[in-house]
Amino acid sequence: MKLIWLQDLLAVAETSSLSKAASLRHSSQSALSRRIQAFEQWLDVGLIDRTANPIRLTPVASRFLPQLQALTSEVEQVRIRMQSEDRGATRLVLATQHSLTITRLPHLFEKLSQMPGQHVDLRVLSEDYEQCLSAFIRGEADLLMCMEDQDGHTKIDLPGTEKLYLGEEKFVPISAARPNGKPLHDLGGKTPFKLLAFPADSFVGRTLYRHGLSCLYHEHRIQIVNESHFLAGIKEMAIAGLGAAWLPESMVRREIDTGQLVLLKGQLKSISLPIVLYAHPQVSASASTLRVWQALSG
């Protein structure tokens, strides 16, 4: 099997046209057709229904399309990684929470880009906390950047693991502003307090609830307007006036300074969570990866 066969078939699936697929692949239509026929012969399976108008994949090809897409992507990534290592690049996998990819990852990339004489190829796995932790423990990630619970409930118990404190993520209560500059959503009104929340089963949702929101839920009428893992979406909904939210201060500072958002005060407290970077024991086994860790620690 050839990678070009997979790429041709995916182009046909995307365009539903041999001529458009050929143009997309910078190939003649006849050459692309011959390659797809060779792929079908190798598989002994029909891949394209040529009687349909427009043409489409056969049912069996359609069922396996996600696996073919994943296989193509994996092969191409292996090629890129091999080329990167051949050029002397240090390749690391970082697992981190969705929120930290927005608020902290750019600074991490900046520090790595300033390393003299060393190129770092950093692949990022952006997932929920539990998935990041699992990937790190299984050895699928070299580094783990995550928020930790204030009370130390979050623990990485892996012999030889290095730990670096990066600072704190301060979640502040915010709301869109009225024309007079006062918050659109605040406690004490006649209507329920509208809240844009994190899912209760997420790390941020659980932690914010444990360290402040539980009292809010028990003592006031709360209407949860929307739940989402994604901070960018919550931020846009807050700006649109759909509800109040707790978001990282670094993410909403500009909107607070311009008056689009206002900080909520009184009973609504800010909640700070430590941010830590863990290095898998295997990182210290290589001189190049050890230099990366030392640069991040500096």
Task: List pLDDT tens digits, range 168-224.
Answer: 899 999 999 999 988 999 887 778 889 998 888 888 888 888 776 777 777 788 888
Half-sphere exposure of 68 (CA within 13 A, CB side): 24
Per-residue pLDDT of 269-282, as tens digits, reads 888 888 888 887 76
Q: Confidence class of residue 141 from pLDDT cuts 50, 70 and 90?
A: confident
CATH code for the part of the protein at 3-79: 1.10.10.10
CATH number of this structure's domain 87-167+274-297: 3.40.190.10
Could you identify the residue written with the tokens 């929470």? 97
Bridge partners of residue 245, in order along the sequence: 174, 196
Residues pairing with 171 in the sheet: 248, 271
Kindly tell me the burial class for residue 126, based on how many C-beta atoms sit within 10 Å of its own C-beta (0-12, 13-18, 19 or more): middle
Residue 274: HSE in the Cβ half-sphere, 13 Å Cα cutoff:
14
All CATH 3.40.190.10 domain ranges of the chain, comma separated, are: 87-167+274-297, 169-273
CA distance 29 to 18: 6
pLDDT digits (tens, 9 = 90+) for 19-37: 999 999 999 999 999 999 9
Which residue pairs, CB below 8 angstroms and at least 24 apart, start in 280-287? 280/136, 280/139, 280/141, 280/142, 280/143, 280/144, 280/158, 280/161, 281/158, 281/159, 281/160, 281/161, 282/139, 282/142, 283/92, 283/142, 283/143, 283/162, 284/160, 284/162, 286/90
Residues 6+ apart with CB under 8 A from 100: 145, 146, 147, 169, 275
Whether 232 shows a pLDDT value over 90: the answer reads: no
Q: CATH code for 169-273?
A: 3.40.190.10
In this model, does residue 239 exceed pLDDT 90?
yes
Task: Identify which of 81-95, 243-257, 270-284 has the greatest average pLDDT.
Answer: 243-257
**H runs (alpha helix) in 16-64:** 18-24, 29-43, 59-63
Rounded Cα gap, residues 55 and 47, in angstroms: 11
Looking at every residue in the chain, the average pLDDT score rounds to 84
Query: How many Cα atoms within 13 Å fall on the side-chain side of residue 167?
Result: 10
Q: Where are the beta strands (DSSP E) in the chain?
A: 48-49, 56-57, 90-97, 120-127, 143-147, 162-176, 193-197, 222-227, 244-248, 261-263, 271-279
CATH 1.10.10.10 in the chain, residues?
Answer: 3-79
Contact 234, 247 (CB under 8 A): yes
| 247 within 8 A of 235, measured Cβ to Cβ | yes
**pTM (predicted TM-score):** 0.64
pLDDT band at 113 (very low <50, low <70, confident <90, very high): confident
* pLDDT tens profile 35-66: 999 999 999 999 999 998 899 999 999 999 99
Give bridge partners of residue 183 from the DSSP assignment: 177
Looking at residue 164, its amino acid is: L
Nearest to residue 237, comparing CAs of 154, 145, 163, 174? 174
Torsion of CA 60, 65, 71, 73, to 10 degrees: 160
Gap between the Cα atoms of 196 and 205, Å rounded: 11
Considering the chain, what percentage of its residues have pLDDT values greater than 90? 35
